Amino acid sequence: MIKNLLFSIVAIFSSSTIAQNSIVGIYEDKVITLRQLESVSKENDSKDKKISAIHALISENIELDYIKKLQISPTSSSINDELLNVAKLNNIKLDELKKFSNFDEIYSLVVLKLSKIGLRQIVVNQDRIEPISLTSKEGLSIFKDWVKNIKAKMYIEIYDEKL
């Protein structure tokens, strides 16, 4: 009796873990798992919304790949300035922020944010004499088109039956 109960608990846990690691999308030689999708969508989201979330995850990964490929990294002064902004927004001093138990995570998010801004600056303003604002309609459109063109050249498959 106890063995059957234990086996049932292990089977339920295992199937839950396997389901979370199910592949719901592939692009190039990389995968998007159900666990990744669940981190950015809700269980009751429509299938179309989940497919959009998968495309957003792919776009995010394209950005990260290009940040690595182009070796984009923010300067220590821009990181410090952004950390000062985070501290100021939370009405604390930078020294207090640095004492937070999750400061390493905050630091990593700041570096990521600034790296993404650097990538967008390169993509949007690469051949321009007059720079375009990254947040303008034109700047956003240029960047979205850049990502869309990269995705158009990729092998992408989404397993919507798993959604």
- Domain assignments of the chain as residue spans, ordered by start: 2-162
Cα torsion angle, 143, 148, 149, 154, sign: positive
- In the predicted model, what is the mean pLDDT of residues 58-64? 96
Amino acid (one-letter) located at 3: K
Please give the Cα distance from 44 to 101 (Å, whole number): 33
Topology of domain 2-162 in CATH is Triger factor/SurA peptide-binding fold (1.10.4030)
Is pTM, for the whole model, over 0.75? yes
Torsional class of 75: left (φ above 0), alpha (ψ -120 to 50), beta (otherwise): beta
The mean predicted confidence, pLDDT, of the chain is: 89
For the chain, percent of residues with pLDDT exceeding 70:
88
What is the model's pLDDT at position 19? 57
Residue 90 to residues 87, 97, 98, 108, 160, Cα–Cα distance (Å): 5, 9, 13, 18, 41
Helix, coil or strand: residue 62? helix
Query: Is residue 92 a contact partner of residue 85, using CB atoms and an 8 Å limit?
Result: no
The secondary structure element, H or E, covering residue 30 is strand 30-33
Torsion over CA of 109, 47, 160 and 156, rounded to 10 degrees? -50
